[in-house]
Amino acid sequence: MNVFSAFKANVEKEIEFLVANGDLPNGTDTSRISVELPRDPSHGDLSTNAAMVLAKPAGLETRDLAETIAERLLTVESVESAEVAGPGFINLRLANNFWFQQLDNILKAGTAYGQSDLGQNRAVNVEYVSANPTGPLHVGHARGSVVGDVLASLLAKAGFAVTREYYINDAGGQIDALARSAFLRYREALGENIGGIPEGLYPGDYLKPVGQELADREGDKWRDAEEAQWLPFVREFSVAAMLDLIRNDLDALGIRHDFFSSERELVEAGAVDKVMETLQADDLLYVGTLEPPKGKLPDDWEERPQMLFKASKYGDDTDRPVKKSDGSWTYFASDLAYHQDKYRRGFPIMIDVWGADHGGYVKRVSAGINALTGGEGKLDVKLCQMVRLLENGEPAKMSKRSGTFVTLRDLVDAVGKDVVRFIMLTRKNDAPLDFDLVKVREQSRDNPVFYVQYAHARCHSVGNMAREAFPDADLTTEGLRRADLTRLTESDELALIRSLAAWPRMVEAAAEAHEPHRLAFYLYDLAASFHALWSKAREEPGLRFVIADDEELTRGRMALVRAVQTVIASGLEVMGVTPVDELRE
């Protein structure tokens, strides 16, 4: 519950009264009523569109109705004034005590503030990272990882029962290529000169230790064996090694999944065959010939009949192949099995985080889920655009240990986990992101990580100052709850409380929209308000948080500072960023 929905309930109650009173017709629909923060603070504390939404269906004049509603709203507790403005908004001014109560709520709840029951404990599955287990994660994965992880935390904060899932694509041809690459490194470890790594295999050095370990454990027993003999073993061994590598990388970013789902296991358990039987039974499979793609024709295009899924029946542009030319299932086929499995494990709400280059894939998977769950399963795919690494505006020339790309590990080593996590959320997921390795270490206002962390540190530091000024005062959070908040009379202070009180609503809105980046922007704005108040006190000493000869006022203001600190910490917690108490080097 947040102040807005709480007040909406009040408005609805008064509308019911007006209906009972005959001022509004029976069956008046209140669902479109909203209670908002007015854009311009001088308009009041809260604002509702009730009259504008209800007037027309009721056949009433908007402003007349607004006056009627406004009059009723005056009877609501804490409402000091209700004025009709503009095209029919009702602006409410609330007693300061209302806001002091919000402040106390923050201190009482601590960083749990903002926790919501919006999700009603409904199960949500967030699948993210899901990189092929063929090598270390790179910078692009870092973005999807953070977006997925924070979205999961956000949903948990909003009251959903969240499962974080990683789908291991360990069944395709790229895994054989991995095994062959590892086998080469194995022969190399046994002293053989392997020359260059052939085209199509993975050249990265990260496979050297895998080859070495194979040699250490297996000796030369596989060296002269046929591929068919060593492949299964080496495949399993190297996939396990790659997953360890990936898990390590994710650990460095503070990411841990609840569930790892293996494509290979699904396939081996016959899940794909079963899903195809289901589709067959529903008459959704047929053998047909697809039109060649328009535009550039692939070199090896050949027209041939294929087994197709009727994706077009569920909103896709065309039907989609489920079998390859060699008779094996396509990746899409196992993806259908995977999502069906996920649904059956109890997740009607599924969120997948993918790279934007997979955008063309969304419709067919949604179509598949639709077909397989009778429309019950809902998939939302978050597509993440590219990350461009820069150094002072120039393309970064970071050392590339992997040989071909900058790894997630390189990035975390260079700037730290917290910076990576925060910066990855400073853009909407579907907008390209510039990550400037130099700027993110700057201590200035245009570095959002620093700016937000600094606000938190400054709160902490103000606490120290207050303790020095009043060594005997009770400045614990519990103690501050007994401070005389009515001493907070400055408009800037009250404005700050309003921003803080918007946090629970922010959590709910961001969770509903599946947009974790909103957290970063909210925290930046909050930090800016706090810094602004601080700066203002340089010119107006009466605004300072610590007032030497007024302990009670200082305690009131410390309650506000503690609340700012708490909400920032709460936000950073959701983002998986550690709040710092000081920034001194």
- Write out the binding residues for RNA, residues 444-483 only, by CB under 7 A: 444-446, 454, 457-458, 460-462, 464-465
List the interface residues with RNA, window 241-280 (CB under 7 A): 263
| Interatomic CA distance for residues 100 and 546, integer angstroms | 19
Nearer to RNA, 5 or 101 (CB): 5
- For residues 87 and 48, give the distance between their C-alpha atoms in angstroms, rounded to a whole number: 12
Minimum CB separation of residue 210 from RNA in Å reads: 19
Nearer to RNA, 17 or 534 (CB): 534
Contacts within 8 Å (CB) and 24+ apart, 50-57: 50/11, 50/15, 50/90, 51/84, 51/88, 51/89, 51/90, 52/87, 52/88, 52/89, 54/15, 54/24, 54/28, 54/30, 55/88, 57/25, 57/28, 57/29
Interface residue with RNA among 285, 425, 502, 526 (CB under 7 A) is 502
Ranges within 524-583 binding RNA (CB under 7 A): 528, 531-532, 534-538, 544-546, 582-583
Beta carbon of residue 438, minimum distance to RNA (angstroms, whole number): 13
- x/- letters, 372..401, toward RNA (CB under 7 A): -----------x-xx---------------
Question: What is the smallest separation between the CB atom of 343 and RNA, expressed in angstroms?
Answer: 20
40: contact with RNA by CB under 7 A: yes
Map the footprint of RNA across residues 91-120, applying CB under 7 A: 91
Stretch that binds RNA, among 14-22, 84-92, 98-106, 404-412 (CB under 7 A): 84-92
- Nearest CB to RNA, comparing residues 110 and 292: 292
Smallest distance, RNA to C-beta of residue 304, A: 6
- The burial of 94, by beta-carbon neighbours within 10 Å (0-12 exposed, 13-18 middle, 19 or more buried), is given as buried
Q: Kindly tell me which of 56 and 344 has the beta carbon lying closer to RNA.
A: 56
- Within 305-334, which residues bind RNA (CB under 7 A)? 306, 317, 320-321, 324-325, 330-332
Q: Which is nearer to RNA, 188 or 579 (CB)?
A: 579
What is the number of alpha carbons within 13 Å of residue 198 lying toward its C-beta?
A: 9
CB of 147 to RNA, least distance (A): 12
> Which one of the spans 39-47, 214-222, 226-234, 562-570 is the region binding RNA (CB under 7 A)?
39-47
249 or 316: CB nearest RNA: 316
Residue 172 binds RNA, judged by CB under 7 A: yes
- The residues, ordered by sequence, that sit 6+ positions from 299 with a Cβ below 8 Å of its Cβ are none
Distance separating alpha carbons of residues 7 and 117, to the nearest angstrom:
17
DSSP β-ladder status, 161-168 and 259-262: parallel
Options 358, 375, 482, 484; binder of RNA; rule CB under 7 A: 358
Handedness of CA 474, 480, 483, 489 (dihedral sign): positive
Give the span between the Cα atoms of 122 and 143, in whole angstroms: 26
CB of 544 to RNA, least distance (A): 4
Whose Cβ is closer to RNA: residue 93's or residue 274's? 93
The DSSP result for 366-412, as a single string, is HHHHHHHHTT--EEEEEEE--EEEEETTEEP----TTSSS-BHHHHH
- Binding segment toward RNA, per CB under 7 A, in 186-194, 253-261, 287-295, 571-579: 287-295
Supply the DSSP symbol for 348.
S
Q: Which of 346, 359, 375, 403 binds RNA (CB under 7 A)?
A: 359
Tell me the torsion sign for CA atoms 140, 143, 145, 147: negative
Smallest gap from residue 219 Cβ to RNA (A): 31
Contact range with RNA by CB under 7 A, out of 16-24, 67-75, 297-305, 488-496: 297-305
The residues pairing with 388 across neighbouring beta strands, listed in sequence order, are 434
CA distance 567 to 483: 19
Q: Looking at residue 47, what DSSP letter applies?
A: E
Closer residue to RNA (CB): 47 or 102? 47
Q: Which two tokens stand for residue 34?
A: 């909203």
360 forms part of the interface with RNA (CB under 7 A): yes
Candidates 304, 310, 358; CA nearest to 326 is 304
Rounded Cα gap, residues 114 and 131, in angstroms: 32
Q: In whole angstroms, what is the distance from residue 475 CA to residue 463 CA?
A: 8
Span interacting with RNA, options 17-25, 357-365, 398-406, 412-420, rule CB under 7 A: 357-365
Q: Applying CB under 7 A, which part among 113-121, 167-175, 223-231, 265-273 lies near RNA?
A: 167-175
User: Which string of x and - marks every residue 223-242 that binds RNA (by CB under 7 A)?
Assistant: --------------------
What is the helix (H) or strand (E) element at residue 414, kind and residue range? helix 408-415
Q: Which of 60, 109, 123, 356 binds RNA (CB under 7 A)?
A: 356
Query: Under DSSP, is residue 262 helix (H, G, I), strand (E, B) or coil?
Result: strand
What residues are paired with 48 via a beta bridge?
35, 90
Among residues 194 and 537, whose Cβ is nearest to RNA? 537
Q: Which is nearer to RNA, 355 or 479 (CB)?
A: 355
Residue 551: CB minimum distance to RNA, A: 15
User: Applying CB under 7 A, does 584 fall inside the site for RNA?
Assistant: yes
Are the beta carbons of 258 and 163 closer than 8 angstroms?
Answer: yes
Residues in the chain: 585
Strands in 320-321's sheet, in edge-to-edge order, are 285-289, 305-309, 320-321
- Residue whose tokens read 């079963």: 274
**Residues 6+ away with beta carbon under 8 Å from 467:** 473, 475
* Piece of 13-21, 71-79, 238-246, 294-302 that binds RNA (CB under 7 A): 294-302
**From the list 3, 11, 53, 252, which residue makes contact with RNA (rule: CB under 7 A)?**
53
- Chain positions 128 to 157 lying near RNA, rule: CB under 7 A, are 132
Residue numbers 414-443 binding RNA by CB under 7 A? 427-428, 430-434, 443
Instruction: Give, to the nearest 10 degrees, the angle between helix 503-513 and helix 3-20.
Output: 90
Output the smallest distance, CB 190 to RNA, in A.
Answer: 29
For residue 223, the minimal CB distance to RNA (Å) is 27
- Number of shown-chain residues binding RNA (CB under 7 A): 103
